[in-house]
């Protein structure tokens, strides 16, 4: 019987990935559909993908599946056969990464969750099948030519910061579950307007479109396949690109460039930059934007204090971390994190 969990250390897995010579494709997909036994579905899927050397992060719940994965190119067709062999996922749209070095993931993790997107919705009358209308790239461009059309970004602040669509409204919240009621409140007097919602790959904006319809909105649309699919369509069909900047992604790349525009700034010096980094201090891992110059100056750390810790012997670093509650410091994505001009060392 195939293993159902990883049993190799993260260090060994990462080293093995970088020794690989065969190319890989980074792919994301999701689908809302009823799964009667998520654990059984998860275990069967793990066996199939493990055999194909698929890496990545997949969530399974009663409401469906959400996946970001890396597939060896030689195994791509076999992967599609396995995935499309599941009736509910037959011919499912796969979002292929725009920029891809094949090093996005190095281990396969499939977890059973309460929901594939944490939404905070407790109303039993909420119906995911009553969702907004899909828009492809061409339809999105055409509808946004109307100045009365409202474009809503359903991603977090750190995603919006480095790239977004023209005229897109940011919902200023740290989590999707906070954004849903906030978006309805912000748009309360625009229930008869054309509203387009978008996100990275489509999963959040699809649920958000259903939520607004549930709250009484009339003309709600969502971008099919999100920014990733939009960028692919724009490139293939040579359409005007209305997305400005970089698309944040939730893997080792931390972003893929859509346009040449740099709309964010380095959180340390304030110069134009849109490269996200996790502070190299293992006791911090703050997510922040760092330019190349500051990356060299601070050794990839967010502050002088973290740089000093990072350059200590490993055993001393472990002693400093022992017993400390790192809490929000780990991969901190809060919109309240420090900005240029503030002291990044005071986290």
Residues 230 and 273 in one domain: no
Please state, in angstroms and as integers, the Cα–Cα distance from residue 266 to each residue in 209, 269, 320, following that order: 33, 6, 28
The order of strands in the sheet holding 163-165 is 163-165, 243-247, 256-257
Residues 36 and 87 in one domain: yes
Residues 27 and 103 in one domain: yes
- Identified catalytic residue from 199, 279, 284, 302: 199
Q: Which of 202, 237, 272 is the last residue of a domain?
A: 237
Query: How many of the other CB atoms lie within 10 Å of CB of 341?
Result: 10
Q: Looking at residue 83, which CATH number applies to its domain?
A: 3.30.70.100
Residues 27 and 88 in one domain: yes
Q: Looking at residue 196, which CATH number applies to its domain?
A: 3.40.250.10
Is-catalytic flag, 302? Answer: no
Query: How many of the other CB atoms lie within 10 Å of CB of 336?
Result: 9
Residues 272 and 228 in one domain: no
Residues 94 and 162 in one domain: no
Q: Which of 83, 112, 141 is the last residue of a domain?
A: 112
Question: Considering the domain boundaries, does residue 17 fall inside one?
Answer: yes
Please tell me the distance from the alpha carbon of residue 6 to that of residue 3, in angstroms, as a whole number: 7
Q: What is the pTM of this model?
A: 0.79
The residue segments making up the domain with residue 169 are 133-237
User: Residue 331 pLDDT > 60, yes or no?
Assistant: no
Query: Could you report the per-residue pLDDT of 263-286, keeping only the tens digit for each?
Result: 999 999 999 999 999 999 988 889
Residues 97 and 189 in one domain: no
Residues 268 and 341 in one domain: yes
Residues 268 and 312 in one domain: yes
145-159, 232-246, 313-327: segment of lowest average pLDDT = 313-327
Please tell me the distance from the alpha carbon of residue 313 to that of residue 119, in angstroms, as a whole number: 42
Please tell me the distance from the alpha carbon of residue 250 to that of residue 239, in angstroms, as a whole number: 26
Query: Could you report the per-residue pLDDT of 59-113, keeping only the tens digit for each?
Result: 999 999 999 999 999 999 999 999 999 989 998 989 887 666 667 787 899 999 9
Question: Considering the domain boundaries, does residue 250 fall inside one?
Answer: no
Q: How many domains does the chain have?
A: 3
């Amino acid at each position: 019987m195939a293993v159902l969990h990883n049993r190799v250390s993260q260090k060994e897995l990462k080293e093995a990935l970088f020794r690989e010579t065969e190319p890989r494709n980074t792919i994301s997909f999701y689908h809302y559909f009823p799964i009667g036994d998520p654990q059984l579905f998860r275990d069967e899927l793990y066996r199939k993908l493990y055999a194909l050397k698929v890496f990545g992060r997949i969530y399974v719940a009663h409401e469906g599946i959400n996946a970001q994965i890396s597939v060896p190119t030689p195994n791509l067709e076999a992967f599609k056969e396995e995935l499309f062999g599941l009736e509910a996922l037959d011919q499912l749209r796969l979002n292929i990464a725009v920029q891809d070095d094949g090093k996005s993931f190095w281990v396969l993790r499939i977890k059973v969750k309460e929901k594939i997107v944490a939404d905070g919705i407790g109303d039993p009358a909420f119906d995911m099948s009553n969702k907004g209308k899909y828009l492809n790239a061409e339809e999105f461009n055409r509808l946004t030519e109307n100045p009365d059309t409202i474009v809503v970004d359903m991603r977090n602040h750190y995603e919006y910061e480095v790239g977004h669509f023209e005229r897109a409204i940011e919902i200023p919240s740290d989590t999707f579950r906070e954004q849903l009621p906030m978006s309805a409140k912000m748009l309360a007097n625009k229930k008869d307007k054309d509203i387009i919602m978008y996100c990275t790959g489509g999963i959040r904006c699809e649920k958000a479109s259903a939520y607004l319809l549930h709250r009484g909105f009339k003309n709600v649309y969502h971008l099919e396949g999100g920014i990733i699919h939009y960028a692919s369509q724009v490139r293939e069909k040579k359409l005007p690109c209305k997305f400005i900047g970089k698309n944040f992604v939730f893997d080792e790349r931390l972003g893929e460039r859509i346009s040449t525009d740099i709309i964010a700034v380095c959180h340390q010096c304030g110069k134009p930059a849109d490269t996200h980094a996790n502070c190299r201090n293992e006791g911090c891992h703050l997510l922040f934007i760092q330019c190349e110059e500051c990356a060299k100056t601070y050794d990839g750390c967010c502050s002088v204090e973290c740089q000093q810790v990072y350059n200590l012997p490993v055993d001393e670093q472990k002693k400093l971390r022992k017993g400390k509650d790192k809490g929000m410091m780990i991969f901190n994505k809060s919109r309240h994190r420090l900005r240029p001009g503030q002291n990044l060392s005071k986290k």
